[in-house]
Amino acid sequence: MNKISIIKKVQLGKNSFSAENLFSKLNFSFYCVNGGIKHEVILSFETSFLLNDLIKNEQITTDTLAKHQISKLENLNNTERNFLYRYQFFQPKECNKCYMIIFDIDEYREYWGYYIYGVLEIE
């Protein structure tokens, strides 16, 4: 796979959502970076991958992710937090854009939730 080039980060109105458990699916929507088209994608543990795999394969760097405000550099480089960051690619039918959605699914005090770190337009 080629190196991932980030064009821009999509602004989100909301970035945290409740879930029933680790295997719950999230119907997530956001607006296209140019044109205001609403895109809908289903995020899930089963259809996503560890972001750390892309970093290890040098397809993306923690510096680049920090520059685009996905998380602080020290969090992205912390090996104890590697499992938190997951990603899923999305290419909507409505436009010629490709997006990478970075998120996690976490449990805190018996409550599950999705946290969206960012939606990145990529090429």
Coil vs helix vs strand at 114 = strand
Average pLDDT of the residues in 16-24? 93
Which residues lie closer than 8 Å to 116 by C-beta, 6 or more apart? 12, 15, 16, 17, 28, 101, 102, 103
Question: Model confidence over 34-73: pLDDT tens digits?
Answer: 768 899 999 999 999 999 999 999 999 999 999 999 999 9
Residues 6 or more apart whose CB falls under 8 angstroms from that of 44 comprise 23, 24, 25, 26
Burial of 105 (0-12, 13-18, 19+ CB in 10 A): buried
Indicate the helix (H) or strand (E) that contains 52: helix 51-56
pLDDT, mean of residues 74-94: 88
Using the predicted structure, report yes or no on whether residue 85 has a pLDDT greater than 70.
yes
Cβ contact 84:117 at 8 Å:
no
Q: How many angstroms from the chain centroid is the CA of residue 101?
A: 3
The pLDDT value recorded for residue 1 is 58
The domain limits of the chain are 6-122
- Decide which of 21 and 81 is more confident: 21
Average pLDDT over residues 6-20: 90
